[in-house]
Chain A
């Protein structure tokens, strides 16, 4: 198709350019105009990071073909602070601490601007509804609501403009809500994440991924891809010059599949080309012959004798087993008045950082292989990559680009190796930007778990014995599984003095998407079991939930289940403060919701009544 002649008014300036017919408005403003403030988070209109104004209407620019915006007046986030001075709303985001990783923030600022334009007196509930199309993974939204309310009140004169300024601090700076030093760059869209960066002569990378959960690679034919115009380099595991393999604890995942694929979405080959379209066509032209192998998707099945083994070094598919042993649990159960057993399970969870994986690589003037990426562990990645590409550490350099959310998911060196190999092969800068789908299918998840928990207690509430066995699906590669099993086991029995403990956590290989590091690293799964269980036991014993925890709480100088002696233990302080702050009404947890008197206080939010405002027939009248 021929190029389009596209004209529009963008951020107050006339733009007349040719555009590719397949371009979305988002591509045009980011790639052609270098306005990278608005980000791509999902490419499907679900997350809102790409929100711009088209003729004054908030639109998701990833869904809009550029041709549809022909002749329109467009405002991107850059329009809000065009002279360098932040808008009232942007300043309010700064003041309220409403930005964390910042990746969703340009879109959020646009949506909030739209909200206050639509109703300058919008209350908190209406603000929530109007921001409902924008996802933030970091903040929990509270401080975003605070920021919009602050901006509203300043704009309406209910609060003076000084309310937006830094609260004056005396000499002390520790313990003060100092405004975030990185917030102005985030609320304005000025901060450049890896996908916003370009280099002269830069090539674009696309990755060929496995369609099979478990298969032997018979052959890879790259000749057609290599012969295509604009293709500068094609790589497979054969291009790895050193010792292949990465992982936080065990280096069992190759940069690209080696000999066989172990999960759907695993990288098999990668292409660097003059533009992303050529790279994608080249990826489609790579012919891989697979011989599918029996696969295993359930950790219990994987542990059975005769199950398909994923890795030669682990014929039983056990990635890691961590035991904790204290006292004699059988004796503890014999002494108990009440023994309760229950099983608990948790699901796989996606990190869903708003910034999909992205990175650049180049070989610099001194021959240093340099990777720029949102990387949670540059120290370890430099170490591993040096071994993989067979270079001294001084010839490998990792530069952290701003991280648009991580939560553990960017601890794995899942794509930086491919970037390094392509930069070395082409001797040109290369850039790889994952789509949301690629990010979801190819990167680690929170470990799904199945936990059996047995607890024995005395009538007075004292726990005498605890036995926990947790089986976790670690997926196809080791990544952080060992560490997750360790932390899960150490913290499994909770902050309670228990004389007899037996905990076993197992991480198991399967042909599922690998599991890895995720904020709270195994402790979430075991705490769900132990803390649910304590309430079950409290009900059976007629004890208040706070009380049963206090009875068993570790206190100053307690010895943990790993036999470590603690100093100061703040648990009872936290329980006391929480009970008071929440106005908790004491009582055993026997479904007493209908009779409690501590509900519906002022410090909760009203139940969501989505759409009620709009169902009333249009915009509610301003409150004033």
Chain B
């Protein structure tokens, strides 16, 4: 058989939010006219879907519909600091800040309605664009509640900041508390290696990742699938080459990226081990999703053809050379044994 299959696995861990410094993020929230909501924060939507995640969180906390949440643009002159898009931090840091700010805004509204209806604040419920009081006939739309609140001189607004309890590392032994939230994960890869050409195809990935709490499971899958495929690129094909400081890979004709024909089926397994510190239980997944992929693929190549690739990328040339070296060594050994 020219084509051989194999499987490999690898595990990972990762820290959520900035490393070995105190991280922080802030948000402002307002339950607005018509039962819509406004959230302003210095968030950076880099494609992971954070705006949708924040809209869901705000909707959940304020009781409005997610499609009625408006999220202000990231602008240093208009929005409170939420810091950068990176370190798998936005759902954790900004999500928790938005939750706290939303709770504050809701509290303003609920206190007015409790007074109007002459009920205890604890029996007031909000959800899906409505406000009601348990065990009463009081039930109005969120838009009516905002109008009532404003009629009493109260604009329901809230603001909040979320920070981490972390420390730097000791310069001598590295001890310290770099993060307050950790995630864990593991992946299995199934590959097919063509022993004539050396080409490796990754046919399947199973990826299990703890995300704390999946606010939007489709978004979590998107992060896992995208992370796996980026790692696959580094594992098998991508290589920024330099010679004397000059690159020979300054375009996509030479710098080879994974296309639709290269990608495996990715089977995501979402694990939820809620973070006990933040108000939501969420953690993060953007970066850890790509950490176990490469060793899982290399371990699978070894399983398939018995060669261990320790220098990335595992290009067809490199894999083929390793297979030939292995065969030659085996032949030499057989000859020696026969002599």
Contact = CB atoms under 8 A, between A and B. Distances in A.
Contact of B287 (A127, A494, A520, A584): A520
Nearest to A600: B5
Given A519-B286, A607-B203, A575 B174 contact: no
A324 B174 contact: yes
Contacts, number: 470
B44 interface: yes
A527 B128 contact: no
Contact of B52 (A42, A178, A527, A589): A178
Contacts of B267: 581-582, 603
Contacts of A134: 259-260
Contacts of A446: 234
Interface string A346-366: 111110100000000000000
B295 A610 contact: no
B245 interface: yes
Most-contacted residue by chain A among B208, B209, B296, B304 (CB, 10 A)? B208
A537 to B, nearest CB: 12
Contact of A350 (B10, B221, B229, B238): B238
B84 A379 contact: yes
B76 interface: yes
B230 A591 contact: no
Contacts of B298: 528, 532
A535 B306 CA distance: 12
Given A142-B265, A569-B184, A575-B186, A376 B174 contact: no
B3 interface: yes
Contact of B264 (A171, A402, A408, A605): A605
Given A325-B174, A607-B192, A440 B303 contact: no
Contact of B75 (A348, A397, A531): A397
Contact of B13 (A214, A342, A495, A536): A495
Interface string A564-577: 10111111011101
Contacts of B302: 535, 589, 591
Contacts of B184: 495, 569-571, 573-574
Nearest to B206: A582
Contacts of A214: 245
A323 B8 contact: no
Nearest to A563: B175
A142 B306 CA distance: 30
A274 to B, nearest CB: 28
Contacts of B221: 97, 142-143
Interface string B242-277: 101111011111010101111111110101010010
A290 interface: no
A6 interface: no
A345 interface: yes
Nearest to A103: B47
Contact of A546 (B9, B249, B312): B9
Nearest to B80: A379
A162 to B, nearest CB: 17
Given A173-B66, A591-B306, A349 B228 contact: no
Contact of B250 (A141, A440, A512): A440
Contacts of B49: 97, 100, 180, 182
A450 to B, nearest CB: 9
Contacts of A343: 310
A486 B20 contact: yes
B163 interface: no
A414 interface: no
Name the interface size band of chain A. Answer: 35 or more
Interface in B143-197: 169, 171-179, 182-188, 190, 192
A403 B303 contact: no
Given A140-B266, A323-B172, A345-B312, A378 B240 contact: no
A143 B49 CA distance: 14
B66 A181 contact: yes
Contact of A342 (B47, B230, B250, B310): B310
Interface stretch (B27-35, B54-62, B113-121): B54-62
A519 B227 contact: yes
A528 B310 CA distance: 9
A581 B269 contact: yes
A379 B74 CA distance: 10
Contacts of B269: 574, 577-578, 581
B85 A406 contact: yes
Contact of B290 (A503, A517, A524, A604): A524
B287 A42 contact: no
A620 interface: no
Contacts of B14: 491, 520, 523
A387 interface: no
A427 to B, nearest CB: 20
A566 B183 CA distance: 11
B218 interface: yes
Interface in A368-418: 368, 375-380, 382, 396-400, 402-408, 410-411
B208 A581 contact: yes
A567 B180 CA distance: 9
B96 to A, nearest CB: 13
Contacts of A44: 251-253
Contacts of B241: 348
A144 interface: yes
A74 interface: no
Interface in A159-202: 171-182
A59 interface: no
A549 B311 CA distance: 23
Given A102-B47, A490-B19, A527-B292, A139 B222 contact: yes
Interface string A40-66: 001010110000000000000000000
Contacts of A581: 206, 208, 267, 269
Contacts of B206: 578, 581-582, 603
Interface string A551-571: 001100000011110111111
Contact of A605 (B74, B85, B203, B295): B203
A171 B128 contact: yes
A265 to B, nearest CB: 8
Contacts of B316: none
Contacts of B84: 376-377, 379-380, 411
Nearest to A445: B240
Contacts of A445: 240
A148 to B, nearest CB: 10
A605 B265 contact: yes
A594 B3 CA distance: 10
B286 A400 contact: no
A101 interface: yes
Contact of B55 (A181, A297, A399, A603): A181
B305 A591 contact: yes
B285 to A, nearest CB: 11
B36 interface: no
A528 B295 contact: yes
A284 interface: no
Contacts of A521: 86-87, 287
Interface string B69-111: 1010111110001111111000000000000000000000000
B97 to A, nearest CB: 14
A562 to B, nearest CB: 5
Contacts of A67: none
Given A264-B246, A528-B294, A132 B303 contact: no
7 contacts: A138-B47, A141-B259, A213-B244, A513-B247, A566-B182, A577-B208, A578-B208
Interface of B: 3-15, 19-20, 42, 44-49, 51-52, 55-57, 59-60, 65-67, 69, 71, 73-77, 81-87, 127-128, 169, 171-179, 182-188, 190, 192, 201, 203-204, 206-210, 213-219, 221-222, 225-231, 233-234, 238-242, 244-247, 249-253, 255, 257, 259-267, 269, 271, 273, 276, 280, 286-288, 290-292, 294-296, 298-299, 302-306, 308, 310-313
Top 5 nearest A-B pairs (CB, nearest first) are A213-B245, A101-B47, A593-B6, A604-B204, A531-B295
